[in-house]
Structure 1
Amino acid sequence: MSRTRQHVRGSRRLATTGVAVSSATLLAVTLSPAAHAAARPSRSAAVQHAAAALLAHRSSLGLDSGEATSVRDVIVDKDGTQHVRYDRTYHHLPVLGGDFVVHIGADGGYRGADRASRATIALPTTTPRVSAPEAAGLATKALRAAHPGGGLRRVEAKPRLIVDALHGTPRLAWRTDAAGLDSLGNPVARTVLTDARTGARIDAWDSIETAAGDGRSLYGGTVPLETTQSGSSYQLKDPTRGNTYTGDAANKTDLCIFGICISRAPSTVFTDADNHWGTGATADRSSAAVDAQYGTNETWDYYKNVHGRNGIAGDGKGSYNRVHYGKNYNNAFWDDSCFCMTYGDGDGTTFGPLVALDVAGHEMTHGVTSKTAGLTYSGESGGLNEATSDILGTMVEWYANNPSDPGDYLIGEEIVRPGFGGTALRYMDKPSRDGSSADYWSSSVGNLDVHYSSGVANHFAYLLAEGSGPKTINGVSYDSPTYNGSTVTGIGHDKVGRIWYRALTAYMTSSTNYAGARTATLDAAKDLYGAGSTEYDAVAAAWSAVNVN
């Protein structure tokens, strides 16, 4: 499973800078809930406070006169603490690894910052020696090399000049998006980072990230749906969730080059005469649509009701779904360029239609990540990116509490078929059960495919939720080991979801690695439950149990 991503391997997350502001009062004042609400800063006020902090702390944040910033995301805590996330440019060029989060106290004072990179940017020139066509040619070769079976067609590449601050000393680089269609007409894409002075490849990663009324769904039984009446029929469009809708892609595919789509597969909104959708069988094309719409609804509700996030981007706007994409397409993906979810039907041998609830939660969480931490999709940060979708997608499944698809710690268990060779795509209690994923951190884990390096964080999340050793939960047997032979006691999946989301949105950056994730989740646990709390200590113990110390 995957989604469209735009990231590269990151450096280690840095510790918070600056001095924490403390204060003491002689008189404790109890405020009413209304007074607390009134005192809570607005988003615009948070941005103003952060802007003032930038001016006062430009040097410590590594900003010089040639650099500019733009706000990507804003979080205002209930206690008034503010977290403003920035992207950076250098002489108008985007900076990979230039992102940072500024933390502001309830009093408007600067608390510190988390930065993707501390490197100072001082390029001798922003004029490349390697031409744009040369960079495009290198990326095209990289795309073809990543798909050695051949048969790629309509391959194009678009280079963009950037500053790379994620791979050591900042340097001028070409970021080139190469895309095409495989022999079945399905989209393939790869992003290649090339040194603009020498032509050496810096990094490369896949740009399509995959996984994979009421309605009778394929996997979730009969589920409630909010729809829109249109004349004498109904549209599968939910006005209560930002007008999210589900459409039929008619087994066609997109033709998109570096974010610009020459043509897109259709997304014709499903309609129904009596507002009772699907039959629960694949023969009825609307059955898969029911699953997709239901997955969108549950994901929306989870983020809103548990984390206070109003939609994937936090702006109340709905995304849309396309089902029946491509021919026997064994994939599902989130695409930022269309702000949409797309599902293949599977080949019937290894996968069925990829519209299961945890797949939907997984893919749409990629959208949340892209709007917040923007975790680079390679190296350890790429593993954390995938794990974020596995962890929070799993939390969506638990949140839905659907008796036809009860909560578990298996990824994609509903979509796999006997020909797949297992009962799920991934196993959080012992990731190595899939034959490729890492149970524990090692210095080489960043060299694994991100779907396998994610195992370390998935294992951490399972241990933190349920603890170590054998147990049966909702009829599924688990037996989770630990690297150090310790016994870990779980704190429950609800708290795990809250801690991980807080870490993702308040502390992680594009370059966060496993050591940084430990720090970020400890910071999150401290915020939510207090330093030295049972939850805080459990986070530390679970990370140590997967060899992240």
Structure 2
Amino acid sequence: MKVKASLLCLAIASAIASAHASTATKPLTPEEAAAALKAAVVARANVLVNNNAKGIHRAAADAFAVKDVIVDKDGTEHVRYARTFNNLPVIGGDFVVHSRESKLGGFSQALETENRPGLVGRINADEAIVEAGARFALRFIGAPTSRLVVYARNKEPVLAHEVVFNGIKVDQTPTEMHYFVDANSGAILDQWDSIQTAKPGPGGGSSCTLTAAVGTGNTMAEGAVTLNTAKCGNTYQMVDTTRGGGATHNMSMLTAGMGALVTGSTNVWGTGVISNAQTVAADAHYGIATTWDYYKNKHGRMGIANDGEGAISRVHYGRNYQNAFWSDGCFCMTFGDGDNGASILPLVALDVAGHEMSHGVTSRTAGLVYSKESGGLNEATSDIFGTMVEYYANNPNDPGDYVIGEKLYPNNAAMQGLRYMFKPSLDGASPDCYTSTLGNLDVHYSSGVANHFYYLLAEGAVVPTGFGSGTWANLTPAKLVCNGNTSLAGIGRDKAGAIWYRALTVNMNSTTNYAGARAATIAASTYLYGADSAETSAVKAAWSAVSVN
């Protein structure tokens, strides 16, 4: 992990390099300077952690590991920690330390107690696997695993077995189900799938030196676009050397392995029709590059993990597979072919690509657990940034809008979409307004309230134009809000995106719920624009307009 090189970071790095100049034979490299800066930030945060045991609800056998470091331009430092207890992972025990000039600014956390469970349970690992297996209705692949953890997503931490089953769903989506089994009662405390999809659902290396090249992609959804590729001898490859070596692979309708790198004899890819295998590969390659550029140019983030390393995109996954997903396991995005346009096209639309890549960003930052309200916020984050990528691209063949996946439907006169951020209930399953039972829904539906908040924050209580304009004839400003506040004004997409990104990377943690998201975005807006700013007032008003008070 590399610390983002802000002006402050560069200044500190220069000072460190100068200090070493008298004793070293050569100055520090930028990488060495960044590492020295990170080490200094972590050392200061460690002191604050050690001096504030009650503030972080520390038990005597707790230990901490740094997951991420962010330094603001004004010198404010944010260090994210994972927690263990007696070497057992504490699920929901993560936190962020905020400080400036070694003075504590506060903690972002969900854990509320120093209490920890006993380390001996009545249920052993094999029994836990049996309990979890009763929930896993598929044929599993490989042997299920179990490890002891402290489950702390409830108010009182308990000893639990984390059981993991791998398999393939009926619709060809891989699944990696995590079950948390109470080590004393045998009850299932929680469960989630680490494979994160676009919608609800039932390798080749190179021995030559790659040369950067610029080609043309004739895509399904975006028209003719520029693609950054590479040349190896007389062969072109879908490897983007300008964006961390990210590559696009063809799965050739398989569901296992990493497929084969997409290559060609020319640097023109696809024909614009899906019968050509390279067409959707061009869509995916363009979508991931555009998402990379959005995060870099809007938020200063260098790739999914903010380490400058590109990820793999896999296309033509499975047979008639009608979904797309992100997997931490392979650090890859995967796209199915739909039913080849009979009712749904290959799932490589630009906002879907941005959605999947953003799952990876969430995994590397707040780590929002993919269940209950935190899972809805995870999905909403991907919808939010997928939409912002679409606006950022400014492609006339796919103008920005607040409908997710509208390019997946052939001849889309009906204005279909996976989700509708301005009026989530248009999909027939997502609520517009928050209720206490929201966390019981599939995460693709509980995301609707956060999507709705974001639309109102960016645009205000205004019926959308653009895609679908004229088709929302029954909508009025009063139908876009839950509290009658039709005077709600938007602050614009750039400011709304900056607030959500900062909240995700600085203020949220793995178990953040909707109340926590309101607090996190208010804190983010306060930092960016001021506590008494119009932007912070708008954040509060937009949450109230979706009944999160």
Instruction: Name the TM-score, length of structure 2 as normaliser.
Output: 0.87
The separation in 1 between residues aligned to 2:379 and 2:264, in whole angstroms, is 36
Corresponding residue to 1:71 among 66, 69, 89 = 66
Query: Could you tell me which residue of structure 2 aligns to residue 491 of structure 1?
Result: 491
Gap change, CA 1:274 and 1:366, over 3 Å in 2: same
Contact preservation (8 Å) 1:431, 1:439: yes
Query: Could you tell me which residue of structure 1 aligns to residue 459 of structure 2?
Result: 466
Deviations 1:175-211, CA, capped at 9 Å, x for gaps: 1111223456552342211101110111122332211
Corresponding residue to 1:440 among 433, 440, 444 = 433
Deviations 1:109-142, CA, capped at 9 Å, x for gaps: 2111111212223222x12321211211222221
The separation in 2 between residues aligned to 1:183 and 1:442, in whole angstroms, is 32
Query: Could you tell me which residue of structure 2 aligns to residue 273 of structure 1?
Result: 265
The separation in 1 between residues aligned to 2:46 and 2:516, in whole angstroms, is 25
Deviations 1:267-304, CA, capped at 9 Å, x for gaps: 31111112011111111111111011111101111111
Gap change, CA 1:369 and 1:36, over 3 Å in 2: closer
Deviations 1:53-103, CA, capped at 9 Å, x for gaps: 111112321223311100111110011101000000000000001100000
Letter of the aligned partner of 1:250 in structure 2? S
Contact preservation (8 Å) 1:135, 1:174: yes
Deviations 1:441-485, CA, capped at 9 Å, x for gaps: 111111111111111110000011111133423663564511110
The separation in 1 between residues aligned to 2:163 and 2:303, in whole angstroms, is 30
Task: Name the stretch that deviates more: 109-118 or 457-466.
Answer: 109-118
Q: CA RMSD in A?
A: 2.0
SS at match of 1:143: coil
Query: Could you tell me which residue of structure 2 aligns to residue 224 of structure 1?
Result: 226
SS at match of 1:496: helix
Deviations 1:401-439, CA, capped at 9 Å, x for gaps: 111111100001111358998600000010000000010
Contact preservation (8 Å) 1:43, 1:76: no
Letter of the aligned partner of 1:116 in structure 2? A
Deviations 1:241-285, CA, capped at 9 Å, x for gaps: 00000011111112xxxxxxxxx2x33111111201111111111
Query: Could you tell me which residue of structure 1 aligns to residue 255 of structure 2?
Result: 253
Query: Could you tell me which residue of structure 2 aligns to residue 169 of structure 1?
Result: 156
Instruction: Say yes or no: does 1:312 pair with 2:304.
Output: yes
SS at match of 2:407: coil
The separation in 1 between residues aligned to 2:7 and 2:393, in whole angstroms, is 32
SS at match of 1:359: helix
Instruction: Say yes or no: does 1:395 pair with 2:394.
Output: no
Query: Could you tell me which residue of structure 1 aligns to residue 117 of structure 2?
Result: 123
Query: Could you tell me which residue of structure 1 aligns to residue 239 of structure 2?
Result: 237
Letter of the aligned partner of 1:219 in structure 2? A
The separation in 2 between residues aligned to 1:427 and 1:92, in whole angstroms, is 44
| Correspondences of 1:8-87 after superposition (within 5 Å) | 37-39=10-12, 42-87=37-82
Contact preservation (8 Å) 1:350, 1:419: no
The separation in 2 between residues aligned to 1:308 and 1:535, in whole angstroms, is 21
Letter of the aligned partner of 1:192 in structure 2? Y
Gap change, CA 1:185 and 1:308, over 3 Å in 2: closer
Query: Could you tell me which residue of structure 2 aligns to residue 178 of structure 1?
Result: 165
Gap change, CA 1:35 and 1:373, over 3 Å in 2: closer
Gap change, CA 1:390 and 1:157, over 3 Å in 2: same
Deviations 1:343-376, CA, capped at 9 Å, x for gaps: 1111234421111110011011110001110111
Letter of the aligned partner of 1:171 in structure 2? V
| Correspondences of 1:370-385 after superposition (within 5 Å) | 370-385=363-378
Contact preservation (8 Å) 1:143, 1:189: no
Deviations 1:31-57, CA, capped at 9 Å, x for gaps: xx9789525893222111101111111
The separation in 2 between residues aligned to 1:98 and 1:524, in whole angstroms, is 22
Query: Could you tell me which residue of structure 1 aligns to residue 205 of structure 2?
Result: none
Letter of the aligned partner of 2:401 in structure 1? D
Corresponding residue to 1:99 among 90, 94, 99 = 94
| Correspondences of 1:325-474 after superposition (within 5 Å) | 325-348=317-340, 349-417=342-410, 423-473=416-466
Instruction: Say yes or no: does 1:89 pair with 2:84.
Output: yes
Give the count of matched residue pairs. 499
Query: Could you tell me which residue of structure 2 aligns to residue 529 of structure 1?
Result: 529
The separation in 1 between residues aligned to 2:449 and 2:83, in whole angstroms, is 30
Letter of the aligned partner of 1:245 in structure 2? A
The separation in 2 between residues aligned to 1:517 and 1:192, in whole angstroms, is 25
Query: Could you tell me which residue of structure 2 aligns to residue 18 of structure 1?
Result: none
Query: Could you tell me which residue of structure 1 aligns to residue 520 of structure 2?
Result: 520
Corresponding residue to 1:190 among 167, 177, 196 = 177
Q: Percent same amino acid at aligned positions?
A: 51
Contact preservation (8 Å) 1:140, 1:156: no
Query: Could you tell me which residue of structure 2 aligns to residue 140 of structure 1?
Result: 133
Letter of the aligned partner of 1:406 in structure 2? P
Letter of the aligned partner of 2:144 in structure 1? A
Instruction: Name the TM-score, length of structure 1 as normaliser.
Output: 0.87
SS at match of 1:202: strand
The separation in 2 between residues aligned to 1:416 and 1:473, in whole angstroms, is 17
Letter of the aligned partner of 2:482 in structure 1? Y
Gap change, CA 1:350 and 1:133, over 3 Å in 2: farther
The separation in 1 between residues aligned to 2:379 and 2:425, in whole angstroms, is 16
Task: Name the stretch that deviates more: 153-162 or 71-80.
Answer: 153-162
Gap change, CA 1:184 and 1:445, over 3 Å in 2: closer
The separation in 2 between residues aligned to 1:184 and 1:76, in whole angstroms, is 43
Query: Could you tell me which residue of structure 1 aligns to residue 186 of structure 2?
Result: 199
Higher RCO (CA-CA < 8 Å; seq separation 6+): 1
